[in-house]
Amino acid sequence: MNEKNNKNHYLSLKDIISESLLRDLILFTFLFLLIITQAWDNILLLLFPLITYTFSLFFRILGTNKKRTLFENSLIIYNPLGNEGTNANRLFFSSMFQLILIFWLGAESLYNPITVNSYVLFFKGFLIFFYTFAFFWIFIDIWKYTKIEILTNTMKAEIDSNSARDLRNVISFLQLKNFKLASLINFFVFIILNILNLIFSVLINNNLGFGLQFYLPGSQLITLSYFFYGILIIPPVLSIILFTLNYIAINNFSREKLDKIIEPLPRNLQIKIIENIKTLNNKIKKQFNTE
């Protein structure tokens, strides 16, 4: 592939923006601004949906970038981080629920201030549940999608009948032990964080614990456990670590295995497959260029 084509793989902002990305951004911004107009005394609660949506936005942009970087009729399935669209949808779904919960609590404090205290415990539980579940949810079936695979079923008109029998060839995939480890870690973190949140919330409700105090839009005082800061940080940091490890593992495949899979194919298709892979990952590109 020539230098001109290489340059075309660096997408502009206009290329990255997609219809689904704009839809998510408009919905999130609309609800976020509605909450802002309620005049909250502290932004801590807003950080939960904001972080969740930031991850959703990352996967949405990544998926769009990957699709538009690929060649027409690409022969590669390249999912080192799983299915970006599925991850983005799950995280966005969770962020919407979190925003609705926060808006609901703010509205209750304004229009039903007498009864709002009876809802606070449930609000804390549901908010943390949706937040932690989002980061657990994206790892539940990640093994289905995390792989690098060559498609041969789209080449039937170009290759002979013998080489057309191998319809799908996986170069790299998420090992079962890695999937089990990531799933167990996420599951236990999800359960532990929700249990601890419930314990601290009950203690605070019964005046047996200390926490961060701030006023709701209706001037009611609410107390959140200091553990909320830990809950805010742990799921996203853990997800970044696990995704990074998966990314490294998936991209660590041998050139010999790739050559063996594409060997039966015509030379022009072999070149196209290799160029596809180079386009998707600069590290692989450097590795191939040195071989």
Q: What is the pLDDT of residues 169-194, one digit of tens each?
A: 777 777 778 888 888 999 999 999 99
Q: In the chain, where are the structural domains located?
A: 3-290
pTM of the shown model: 0.83
Q: Is 209 left (phi over 0), alpha (psi -120 to 50) or beta?
A: beta
Banded model confidence at residue 6, pLDDT cuts 50, 70, 90: very low
Task: Identify which has the larger pLDDT, 256 or 87.
Answer: 87
- Distance (Å, whole) CA 238 – CA 254: 28
114 burial via Cβ count (<10 Å: 0-12, 13-18, 19+): exposed
The reported pLDDT for the residue numbered 277 is 75
Highest mean pLDDT pick, 7-16, 130-139, 147-156: 130-139
Average pLDDT over residues 6-29: 74
- Distance (Å, whole) CA 17 – CA 34: 24
Q: What are 45-64's pLDDT values in tens digits?
A: 999 999 999 999 999 998 88
Average pLDDT over residues 140-147: 85
The reported pLDDT for the residue numbered 98 is 97
Task: Identify which has the larger pLDDT, 91 or 248.
Answer: 91
Whether pLDDT at 17 is above 90 = no
Banded model confidence at residue 165, pLDDT cuts 50, 70, 90: very low
The reported pLDDT for the residue numbered 241 is 95
The reported pLDDT for the residue numbered 236 is 96
User: Which amino acid makes up residue 274?
Assistant: I
Q: What are 219-237's pLDDT values in tens digits?
A: 888 888 889 999 999 999 9
Average pLDDT over residues 209-217: 83
Whether pLDDT at 86 is above 80 = yes
286 burial via Cβ count (<10 Å: 0-12, 13-18, 19+): exposed
In this prediction, what percent of the chain has a pLDDT beyond 70? 81
pLDDT mean across residues, the chain: 81
Residue 182 and residue 242 in contact, taking contact as beta carbons nearer than 8 Å:
yes
Query: Could you tell me which residues are beta bridge partners of residue 242?
Result: none
60 burial via Cβ count (<10 Å: 0-12, 13-18, 19+): buried
